[in-house]
Amino acid sequence: MDIYFAKVLAWLETLKSKQPAVCDWIGIYYKESYLHKLNSTDLVLGPFIGEHTDHVRIPIDRGFCGMALREERTVNVADVTKDSTHIACSLKTRSELVVPIADKAGHFVAELDIDCNRLAAFTPELETFFKEAVKSFPLLEEFAPFPVESFETERLILRKVKQTDLNDIFEYCQNPNVARYVTWEPHQTIADTQKFIDYAQSSYAKGAPEPMVLVLKDDPKGKVIGSVGLIPASPKNRIFELAYALSEEHWGKGLVAEGSKAIINYAFNHFAIERLQCRCDVLNPQSSRVMEKLGMHYEGTLKASMYLKGKPRDMHMYSLVRSDFRPYAL
């Protein structure tokens, strides 16, 4: 849901940038039955831009928001103070436009809600503009799982994890040297590795390339030797975090930096991402070197910012922001 909401937020930002004079508050209310597949007639608040609102849930029989989806029509209110139907989100709001949003089958599933601090802000032209705009709204069902099955670099294939990778992954994840500076414990049993595979499947379903496993192109057995992934650390702020681990026998060949480049190229091309970050324990200079090889900037050391393996850890923070990003040659 996080990545989907980031996409919706980006859509709202584009809309607001086209009509800044009327969008003092702009957001999406969804039918809860659509968003959470619950047997409910309530509307629930999705992404929004503007002041915080307490109205995160609205019964369909209340307010202009309820009216628009109940009556399946656009509601354009010139002066909200003259109508008792209005549920006040902000005392500054004077006019409001609510445009229902239909799915591809024509069923109304959500609505665009815009509040303006001026009276009668939504002219017929603006109403038409926003009715047209909702046709490009990113619907939940269009939001597919992470679509790329594999990437290729000079020496590597990066691909989604498969159930048959269980033993390969267990082999390197049980090594305490590999697990020393990561958030997870060395795998004790195959069940620990199964949890990793289950996590990967749920992560792809949410649209994240996390983790993509690494296989050497020239290995006929196609053994999995590590993984690189991009975690949606804060989609609202467009921040993704890089994570990686490699089988010890392959350390020192520059493989993780090579594999990371393919995923980072993809992310800056396809995701609403502004900042790629990566942290490593100050005692893990090998990982710092990977980030340096990726051209990431060292931002500082966050003291005791992670509690790992029973101890507070000082972490180096590195980043690569969109304005500094130049696509890597693979």
Name the site residues for ligand COA (rule: CB under 6 A).
Answer: 178, 181-182, 244-246, 251-257, 280, 284, 286-287, 289-290, 293
Other C-beta atoms lying within 10 Å of the C-beta of residue 329: 8
Report how far residue 239's alpha carbon sits from residue 211's, in angstroms, rounded to the nearest whole number.
17
- Cα–Cα distance measured from residue 180 to residue 121, given in angstroms and rounded to the nearest whole number: 59
Q: Which lies closer to ligand COA via its Cβ, residue 110 or residue 158?
A: 158
Indicate the residue among 109 and 278 with the shorter CB distance to ligand COA: 278
Instruction: State in angstroms the smallest separation of the CB of 242 from ligand COA.
Output: 9
Which amino acid is located at 39 in the chain? N
User: What's the min distance (Å) between Cβ of 295 and ligand COA?
Assistant: 13
CB of 226 to ligand COA, least distance (A): 6
Q: State which residue, 45 or 278, has the beta carbon closest to ligand COA.
A: 278
CB of 266 to ligand COA, least distance (A): 19
Rounded-to-integer distance, Cα 150 and Cα 163, Å: 16
Sign of the CA dihedral running 37, 240, 245, 219:
positive
Nearer to ligand COA, 12 or 290 (CB): 290
| Cβ 287 to ligand COA shortest distance, Å | 4
Q: By beta-carbon distance, which residue lies closest to ligand COA? A: 252
Give me the least distance between CB of 239 and ligand COA, in Å please: 16
- Exposure class string for 186-198: b at 16+ Cβ within 10 A, else e: ebeeeebbeebbe
* 278 closest CA partner among 312, 321, 309: 321
Q: Which is nearer to ligand COA, 30 or 244 (CB)?
A: 244
Task: Give dist(CA 248, CA 254) in Å, integer.
Answer: 12
User: Which of residues 33 and 288 has its CB atom nearest to ligand COA in the complex?
Assistant: 288
